[in-house]
Structure 1
Amino acid sequence: MDSRELGLVLGQQLLGVDDLHYGLWEDDIERKLANLPIAQQRYTEMLAATLPAVAEGVRLLDVGCGTGHILEQLLERGYSVDAVSPAPELSRQVGERLERFPDNDTRLFQCRFEDLPVEEVAGQYDAIFFSESFQYIDTETALTHAQQLLKPGGSITICDFFKTDKSGDGGPADQIIGGGHRLERFYLQVEAAPFETERDEDITSLVSPNMDVLNDFLMNTIKPAGLTLGEYLQGRYPKTGWLAKRLMGKKFAKLGRKYFSGKRTGETFERYKNYRLLVLRLQSS
Structure 2
Amino acid sequence: MPVDDRWGLRRAVSRRYPDPAALAADTGHAARLSTYLTDLLTPHGLTLTPDALNPVRGQSYGEMAVELLPDEPVDLLVLAYDVPDISPGRAVSTYLTHVCPGSPMSFAVSDQGRAAAFTALSLMQTYAATHPRALLIAVEQSDLPYDPGVPVALPAAHAGIALHLSASAEAPLSAVTVLPDADASVDALDGLAATTVVLGGGMAALAGDVKADRVILADPAQPMTGVWEALAGLDLATAGRVAVADYDPALRYLCVAAFG
- Structure 1 length-normalised TM: 0.28
Structure with higher helix content: 1
Q: Which has the higher contact order (CA 8 A, sep 6+)?
A: 2
Mark the structure with the bigger radius of gyration. 1
